[in-house]
Amino acid sequence: MGSEPTKVMVAVNGSTIKEYPHPSISSKRAFEWTLEKIVRSNTSDFKILLLHVQVTDEDGFDDVDSVYASPDDFRSMRETNKAKGLHLLEFFVKKCHEIGVACEAWIKIGDPKDVICKEVTRVQPDFLVVGSRGLGRFQKVFVGTVSAFCVKHAECPVLTIKRNPDETPSDLADD
């Protein structure tokens, strides 16, 4: 019986500590957990869908002192940001290919929580896996959490994976 593989969407982002092309602690953990605990050795039964959402104010304006005098300046900036996202996705795609699990990866721009939920609706994965930083109540009020939003609004089951205690930086908002 040629059944379709189970589609697992994993939302990934770059590290706030090491920057591109390093993955965040929580998204790397969510991805690794998915491979170890769900895919395991059944690589032909799964397809990993890797989504990276670039946030304009984080990913687009690193050089706030720069002067932009022509449309080419902005085109160059967009190309640089896209390249950063591609390098990040390359990390995850290589891991999938190393173990032989099918994957697709793409980049979208916008508010991660909204874009992830829209992509879930568009792509219709069997479930979504997101990393969680483990913020406390006070931090959630100011920082917000993409994972909590996705649990409430995504049109599929959502697994949130906490980072390992030994990987937690001193500032929980860092990732």
Question: Residue 96 falls within a domain, yes or no?
Answer: yes
The closest of 1, 89, 12, 10 to 45, measured between CA atoms, is: 1
Calculate the CA 137 to chain-centre distance: 23
The verdict on residue 1 lying in a domain is no
Q: Domain residues for 59?
A: 6-167
**Domain membership flag for residue 172:** no
Residue 117 forms part of a structural domain: yes
CA gap 151, 128 in Å, rounded: 9
Closest by CA position to 48, among listed 56, 58, 38, 57: 38
Q: What per-residue confidence (pLDDT) applies to 166? A: 79
Q: What is the pLDDT of residue 145?
A: 82
Q: Could you give the C-alpha distances from 72 to 65, 79, 82, 153, 174, in angstroms and in order?
A: 17, 10, 15, 38, 33
- Residue that has been written with the tokens 């001193």 in this structure: 170
- Is the pLDDT at 3 greater than 70? The verdict is yes
Domain membership of residue 175 (yes or no) is no
Q: What is the reported pLDDT for 132?
A: 86
Q: Would residue 86 count as lying in a domain?
A: yes
The alpha-helical segments, DSSP class H, found in the chain are 25-33, 71-99, 112-123, 137-143, 146-153
User: 129: which residues sit within 8 A by CB, 6+ positions away?
Assistant: 8, 9, 10, 11, 30, 31, 33, 34, 158, 159, 161
- Whole-number average pLDDT of the chain: 82
Average pLDDT for 50-60: 74
Q: Does 137 fall in a domain?
A: yes
The per-residue pLDDT for range 91-131, each reduced to its tens digit, is 999 999 999 999 999 999 999 999 999 999 999 999 999 99
User: What CATH number does the domain containing 140 carry?
Assistant: 3.40.50.620
More confident: 135 or 130: 130
Q: Indicate whether 174 belongs to any domain.
A: no
Contact 114/156 with Cβ under 8 angstroms? no
pLDDT exceeds cutoff 80 at 134: no
Structure pTM?
A: 0.81
Domain count along the chain: 1
